[in-house]
Amino acid sequence: MLLPRLTDARKELRRTQIAEAAVRCFSRNGLERTSIADITAESGLSTGSIYAHYRNKADLVQAAAREVLDKRAEAIGQYAAADVPPDPDELLSRLIAAIDPAEARVGVQTWSEATTDPAVRDIVVDMTDRMRAMVHECVTAWLVKVEHDEPARAGERATPIAHRVMALYQAELLYTAMQTPTEGTAS
């Protein structure tokens, strides 16, 4: 009996389901202590299904990081496209308000792994650079649309502002990760 092939949309849904299960496992158990078997159990899928979508755990770490970044990217893109983009303080407030404690724990664990694992480091550097670029774009839009700066000047002025917004956002991620107990842990 032949099994029906998954459509591209269904494949993407399955990948998202697996990545979300990985985030929950990584948050609860840590990156190092989470196995593919844990992710299989959490997702409700077969091991074969996991490996049909991801080569290994490093792929899942990358997918989990991208899943989180994609959520932020969508919101930041909407902010930048608004008639009145948020000022840097408001942008930071909105980013902080959107922090999910489980995602914060995974983010901090990923940063830690990046200090010893070059593949994870590449993921972290790429994701951080992409997020900083999106914040820069939003700050630039605010400077042009609200502060009426020339685009070139706005881009220059936005660089240190975006850097500070990112630094404060990452500090809040760390704070959230440290303040929020994992499931099954006494508070």
Give per-residue pLDDT as tens, 73-82: 788 888 888 8
Label residue 186 by pLDDT band (50, 70, 90).
very low
Q: Is the pTM of this model over 0.85?
A: no
Higher-confidence position of 100 and 5: 100
| Rounded distance between C-alpha atoms, residue 162 and residue 132, angstroms | 6
Q: Which two tokens stand for residue 42?
A: 């959490």
Closest by CA to 89, choosing from 164, 30, 152, 145, is 164
CA distance 181 to 62: 24
**51 in a structural domain:** yes
Query: Is residue 109 situated within a structural domain?
Result: yes
Within a domain: 186: no
Q: Are the C-beta atoms of residues 110 and 61 closer than 8 Å to each other?
A: yes
> Domain containing 24: what range?
8-179
Residues 6 or more apart whose CB falls under 8 angstroms from that of 61 comprise 22, 26, 31, 110, 113, 120, 123
Which of 55-59, 95-99, 137-141, 160-164 has the lowest average pLDDT? 55-59
Say if 185 falls within a structural domain: no
Instruction: Domain count for the chain, please give it.
Output: 1
pLDDT tens per residue, range 5-51: 668 888 888 988 998 899 889 888 888 889 999 999 999 999 999 99
2 occurs within a structural domain = no
Give the pLDDT of residue 185. Answer: 43
Q: Which tokens hold the place of 18?
A: 């697996």
- Which is it for the CA torsion 160, 71, 22, 179, positive or negative? positive
We report the CATH number of the domain holding residue 54 as 1.10.357.10
